[in-house]
C-alpha cells in the first residue's frame, strides 16, 4: 500500500512530537518545510512521503511516520501552516470592512499555496491556527445577532468562492506553465485563428460582440476578480439577511 492509499490517520494534534535522537537531525518542522516547498512548487499531486523523505535526507518514507504519524498528519500541519500566515485584521466598527479585509488577506495567502484548495477539505481543520481564524470570523458574525446556521451559510459562501477560485487558478497555472502561454494576450493570440472562421459564419453574434469588446489584460489579474465577486457576495448576503449596510 502506498502512502497515498493509506487509511486516514489520526489528527496530528493528538500526537506529541517525539524527542530527538542522537542518530538523526529530523524534526517535525523540517518535514513540514520540505512538504510546503514541494507542494508550493509542484502542487498537491507531487506531495508524497517519498518525495518529502528525499528532501529531508531520510533513508525511507517510514522514517517520517515517527514525527507526523501518516501523510494525513503531514497534511494537517500543512493546512494549519497556511492559516498561520493569515493576519487577523483589527476589528472595525463596520463588520463588512473587517470581513472583507480578512477574506482578501486569506486570498493573498492562498495564492502562495494553491495546493491548499485541493487539500483543505481532506482533513478536519482543527489545528490551533485554523481554530484561531475561525473563532475570529465567528465572533465577528456573532456580533450581528444572526443564527449559527446563517453564520455557517456566510462562511460557506466566502470559503467556496476563495477555495473554488484557488482550484481554478491552480489548474490554469498548470496549463499556462505547460503551454508557455502566461498572459491572456498570449492565449488570445493563439485562440483567435481557431475562432475566426466560426465567428465569421455569424451563428454566435453575442459571443462575437463580447469577444471583440472585452479587455484583454497584458498580465493575469488574480486579485481584482476575487475582490469584485466577494463584494457582490457580501452585497447579496447583506440584503438577504437585512444586515447593517455600509456607513
Average pLDDT of the chain to the nearest whole number: 90
Domain ranges of the chain: 3-82, 87-178+225-241, 183-219
CATH 1.10.10.60 corresponds to the domain 3-82: yes
Q: What integer pLDDT is reported at residue 152 of this predicted model?
A: 97
Residue 39: pLDDT above 80? yes
Residue 187: pLDDT above 90? no
Q: What integer pLDDT is reported at residue 51 of this predicted model?
A: 96
pTM: 0.87
Say what angle helices 148-179 and 128-142 make with each other, to 10 degrees.
130
Amino acid at each position: 500500500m502506498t502512502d497515498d492509499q493509506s487509511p486516514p490517520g489520526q489528527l496530528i494534534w493528538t500526537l506529541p512530537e517525539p524527542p530527538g535522537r542522537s542518530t538523526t537531525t529530523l524534526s517535525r518542522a523540517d518535514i513540514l518545510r520540505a512538504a510546503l516547498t514541494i507542494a508550493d512548487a509542484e502542487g498537491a499531486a507531487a506531495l508524497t512521503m517519498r518525495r518529502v523523505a528525499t528532501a529531508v535526507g531520510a533513508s525511507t518514507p517510514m522514517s517520517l511516520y515517527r514525527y507526523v504519524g501518516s501523510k494525513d498528519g503531514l497534511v494537517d500541519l500543512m493546512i494549519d501552516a497556511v492559516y498561520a500566515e493569515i493576519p487577523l485584521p483589527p476589528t472595525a466598527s463596520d463588520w463588512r470592512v473587517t470581513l472583507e479585509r480578512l477574506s482578501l488577506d486569506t486570498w493573498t495567502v492562498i495564492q502562495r499555496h494553491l495546493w491548499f484548495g485541493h487539500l483543505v477539505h481532506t482533513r478536519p481543520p482543527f489545528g490551533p491556527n485554523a481554530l484561531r481564524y475561525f473563532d475570529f470570523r465567528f465572533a465577528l458574525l456573532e456580533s450581528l445577532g444572526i443564527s449559527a446556521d446563517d453564520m455557517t451559510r456566510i462562511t460557506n459562501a466566502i470559503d467556496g468562492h476563495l477555495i473554488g477560485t484557488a482550484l481554478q487558478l491552480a489548474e490554469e497555472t498548470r496549463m499556462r506553465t505547460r503551454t508557455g502561454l502566461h498572459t491572456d494576450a498570449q492565449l488570445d493570440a493563439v485562440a483567435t485563428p481557431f475562432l475566426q472562421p466560426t465567428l465569421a459564419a455569424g451563428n454566435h453574434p453575442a459571443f462575437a460582440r463580447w469577444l471583440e469588446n472585452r479587455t484583454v489584460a497584458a498580465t493575469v489579474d488574480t486579485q481584482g476578480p476575487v475582490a469584485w465577486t466577494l463584494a457582490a457576495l457580501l452585497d447579496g448576503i447583506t440584503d438577504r439577511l437585512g444586515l447593517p449596510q455600509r456607513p
